[in-house]
Amino acid sequence: MVKGMDVAVYDVIKNAGEGNFDPKPYVGTLENGGTGLAPFHDLEAKVSDETKAELEKIKKDIISGSIKITSESQPK
């Protein structure tokens, strides 16, 4: 898992500069690029194309809402 802190900082600064600052906590998601699957690095060759395709489909399904992710630590 990767946390896109660069995306979070950029979005907050951009919104503030446009006069749209939102003081609510920023939540990084797959959709806004604030989180994602970490690169496979040295294991890239060991991960099959089928697995990579399945992971991409799951990512798209999470973004579209057809797969729901819930957590006790989600902002309320």
- Domain assignment present for 69: no
pLDDT tens digits, 2-40: 998 998 899 899 999 999 998 888 888 999 988 999 999
In a domain, 31, yes or no: yes
**Residue 40 forms part of a structural domain:** yes
Residue 71 falls inside a structural domain:
no
Kindly indicate the confidence band of residue 70, based on its pLDDT and cuts at 50, 70 and 90.
confident
Q: What total of structural domains would you count in the chain?
A: 1
Residue 56 lies in a domain: yes
39's CB contacts (< 8 A; 6+ apart) are: 2
Dist CA 47 CA 10 (whole Å)? 32
66 φ/ψ angles, rounded to the nearest 5 degrees: -75, -20
- The per-residue pLDDT for 76 is 72
Range of the domain at 57: 2-64
CA atoms of 41 and 64, how far apart (whole Å): 27
